[in-house]
């Protein structure tokens, strides 16, 4: 197996942004007098906003349109993008892969506006060949379309790309598309389906530096699969 590209998830993988997503959801909902404070902080981790709306629509007045809700959430998120910070090792991993000549893309379940806010906050656009947002596909994760689209644009077979994901939703999407899937689980959380798990983003560099096929790399890194 010759892996020559990395497809990064963004929220919760590269960016410590899950808290901002939750605050944006609560603030936007409060405009219509809806209190969502009963929701856990990571209630919709990995879930795209179309499905978030479907899950919550019954709690809103009937005259609230999906488009208005989504725009209001995005407005809050983009307006507070200074709160987005890179997760430990994220920038070093991206820079290290670039130095090794590994092509990198981002595949997100967020809207284009949110993806661009994340990329700008992390200052990684120059290292990313392109990004796939929810607006670029008909079906978001866990459907395989986002990762399939990324591989098409890279001109690679899915088996030549590696995905790094922090959610089961994203892992299912990448696995269904045929990519090798690394689960980023810094807190030891359950994360399936993955080919291997890491708790440090810099382990992605070790994976490539092992210079072996994927099963051998798992062995080198002490991962049983």
Q: From residue 145, how far is each of 78, 109, 120, 137, 166 by CA, in Å?
A: 26, 11, 25, 7, 18
Model pLDDT for residues 144-155, shown as the tens digit of each residue: 999 999 999 999
pLDDT at 1 (0 to 100): 57
Where does 100-213 have alpha helices with state H? 112-122, 145-154, 168-177, 203-209
| Contact criterion met (CB below 8 Å) for 38 and 209 | no
State mean pLDDT over 82-103: 97
| Contact criterion met (CB below 8 Å) for 150 and 164 | no
Does position 221 have pLDDT exceeding 60, yes or no? no
pLDDT at 155 (0 to 100): 97
- What's the chain's average pLDDT? 91
pLDDT at 209 (0 to 100): 86
DSSP string, 136-165: GSSS-TTSSHHHHHHHHHHT--GGGEEEEE
pLDDT at 224 (0 to 100): 38
């Amino acid at each position: 197996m010759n892996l020559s590209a990395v497809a990064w998830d963004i929220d919760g993988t590269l960016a410590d942004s899950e808290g901002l997503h939750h605050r944006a959801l609560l603030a936007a909902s409060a405009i219509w007098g809806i209190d969502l404070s009963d929701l856990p902080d990571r209630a919709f981790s990995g879930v795209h906003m179309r499905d978030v709306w479907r899950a919550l629509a019954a709690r809103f007045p009937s005259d609230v349109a999906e488009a208005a809700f989504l725009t209001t959430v995005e407005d809050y998120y983009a307006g507070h993008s200074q709160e987005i910070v890179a997760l430990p090792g994220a920038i070093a991993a991206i820079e290290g892969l670039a130095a090794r000549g590994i092509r990198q893309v981002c595949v997100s379940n967020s809207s284009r506006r949110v993806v661009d806010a994340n990329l700008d906050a992390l200052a990684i656009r120059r290292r990313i060949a392109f990004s796939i947002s929810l607006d670029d596909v008909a079906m978001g994760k866990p459907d395989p379309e986002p990762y399939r689209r990324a591989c098409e644009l890279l001109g690679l077979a899915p088996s030549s790309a590696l995905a790094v994901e922090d959610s089961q939703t994203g892992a299912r999407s990448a696995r269904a598309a045929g990519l090798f899937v690394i689960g980023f689980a810094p807190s030891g959380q359950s994360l399936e389906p993955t080919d291997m798990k890491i708790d440090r983003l810099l382990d992605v560099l070790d994976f490539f530096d092992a210079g072996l096929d994927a099963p051998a790399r798992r062995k080198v890194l002490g991962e049983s699969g």
